[in-house]
Chain A
Amino acid sequence: MTQLIPQTGNIPRPFASIVSQPYWDACARGALMFQRCAACNGITHTPAVMCAHCSARDLAWERAAGTGAVYSWTTVWRPQTPDFTVPYTAVVIDMDEGWQMLSNLIGCEHDAATIGMRVAVEFHPITDGVMLPYFRPVA
């Protein structure tokens, strides 16, 4: 049995693009954000120039509740780079507002992941102090 925890090694860090800079700035403040379309109210993630639902170019940043349910998972035993500690569990999450994001699970055993499991965001610093959103199971 192994508890899943945030990565502590010198793992590759994300580098923001012009479009995604607000997303990572918000993470630095401990806020998970997505873009909402003023034309159709749809949510777009990953950060984009146009709405994923209607292609309108009228997106505004909105804060997420940070909660959702696991849509799919995989527990990884071969590290992407030697700086990763294995096992780690990658998850795609159905966020409550109706969008999806990729993250890692923490705060549970490595074999605890189930589809439909409720999770909540928790930020942890990684390489260069970048704040990365992780997800912990909640009731």
Chain B
Amino acid sequence: MPSAFWGKFLEPHRLRRETGGSMAKHPFHDVAIVGVHNTQQARMLEGHDSRSITLEAGLGAVADAGLTPLDIDGVVGVHGADFIYQARIGPVWRSMSQLGIPALLEASAAIATGLASVVLVSAGSAGIYTERTSTAPWTRPTNEFVVSYGMFTAAEFALIARRHMHMHGTKPEALAHVAATIRNNGHVNPEAVYFGRGPFTAQDVLDSRMVADPYHLLDCAMTAEGGCALVLARADIAKDLAKDPVYVLGGNTDHYGPSYQHPPAFELGGRRDPKFINGYAGRRASQMAFAMAGCAPTDVDVCEFYDPFSFEIIRQFEAFGFCGEGEGGDFVMDGTIEIDGRFPITTDGGLMSFSHGGATVQLLQRVIRATQQVRGECATQQVPDVEIALASGGGAGALFNDVMLLGASQP
């Protein structure tokens, strides 16, 4: 039952149709992901700064695509200008967009509209993990209404989880099971920062020290350093390359305001449609993504969910329509999310175990893993016969959530 405060906003409003309904070509028919690369990921990366690791990641993705820097005519990311200059490839298209899935959708749109034909999207963070006494200050801005109350990401996200536990009786054991599952995926992944640190049981998670109730240490993502990049290309270019193209079937993003500045309320809503509250951030984006893709949650073969905190997996299953509201806790407990389950999650260990490469690097890393799953080239925890993969980013504690659907077949 929404609190008395949020009930005021629950007046019916017509949701303006924002997706075109015509039989035109799929908007991203001519777009494919052709290169992906993660650099080394580590708690602290020696011998690199953010610019150098981003450049290395970009070169790695270009090489993975079987291309050279001269083939790039579009660049996305805050350090993208370095690539343009060092490779001497100007004049090219550029966007400074850096936030994961929306940056990839922007790159896709640039290709679809003819602004560019081969776009490099890169991000990296290194040499900044220096202030070890405060809680990851670079992952959260200070703001006058939250800073003096000791807020940081875990506390922001905990306020969301606690409200859901109150509304639906979601149990700490369900959260712990999610965290253990993801960490066990990282435990077997040699590229993961926490490779070999497990195996974990749900009880291990519950026994780890409490950070911000209900989040124990092992319910939380790590902080780390690293770089990553993707290359997207026009489909006709992609078809000449060695690796199978991975197609963009759909995507969108839901934002409710700036992250970490205002009370993170589960029932924060907008005035446009009362169905879409912050606690289900990503619901609108996923509906639009599935509509664009012409498929449904049941068609997804692997869920590369963004995992900043364990409850966010449960929340996203509910938000994206894999299960009903309040059902997520039970949904994750009966074999669904394991690597051989119906909806395997976050198969490389995610933000908890694989990497949280910086302030925004990790947002792209979910899409890289989803790409590798579709290609069938994961060295560990490869899901068989992936036709459709879902990747996500953000979380209700941060007031945004992105969704992207990738596929093996051209839409």
Contact = CB atoms under 8 A, between A and B. Distances in A.
A28 B97 CA distance: 40
Interface in A9-29: 11-17, 20, 24
Interface string A77-112: 111111010001010101100111111100000000
A115 B150 CA distance: 20
Contacts of B263: 46, 92, 100-102
Contacts of A103: 149
A74 B145 contact: no
B261 A46 contact: yes
Interface string A26-44: 0000000000000000100
Contact of B212 (A77, A104, A126): A77
A132 interface: yes
A67 interface: no
Chain A residues touching B, range:
35 or more
Nearest to B267: A71
A79 B135 contact: yes
A73 interface: yes
Contact of A73 (B3, B146, B159, B215): B159
Contacts of B135: 78-81
B317 interface: no
A13 B5 contact: no
A90 B148 CA distance: 10
A92 B264 contact: yes
A53 to B, nearest CB: 7
B14 interface: no
B46 interface: no
Contact of A80 (B5, B151, B209, B215): B151
Interface string A109-127: 0000001000000000011
B5 to A, nearest CB: 5
Contact of A7 (B150, B155, B211): B150
Contact of B150 (A24, A79, A94, A100): A79
A90 B150 contact: yes
Given A72-B163, A73-B159, A98 B148 contact: no
A74 B148 contact: no
B196 to A, nearest CB: 25
B150 A46 contact: no
Nearest to A82: B133
Contacts of B212: 74-78, 90
A80 B134 contact: yes
Contacts of B264: 92, 102
B266 interface: yes
Contacts of B134: 80-82
A136 to B, nearest CB: 15
B72 interface: no
B4 A76 contact: no
Contacts of A73: 159, 162, 213
Contacts of A127: 148
Given A76-B155, A77-B210, A90-B151, A12 B142 contact: yes
Contact of A98 (B5, B158, B215, B266): B5
Contacts of A100: 5, 263, 265
Contacts of A102: 145-146, 149, 151, 262-264
Contacts of B149: 88, 90, 102-104
B265 A72 contact: yes
Contact of A74 (B142, B147, B159): B159
Interface of B: 3-5, 8, 133-135, 142, 144-152, 154-155, 158-160, 162-163, 166, 209-215, 261-266, 271
19 contacts: A11-B148, A11-B150, A14-B148, A74-B158, A74-B162, A74-B215, A76-B150, A76-B158, A76-B211, A78-B135, A81-B135, A90-B155, A98-B8, A102-B145, A102-B146, A102-B149, A115-B162, A126-B148, A127-B148
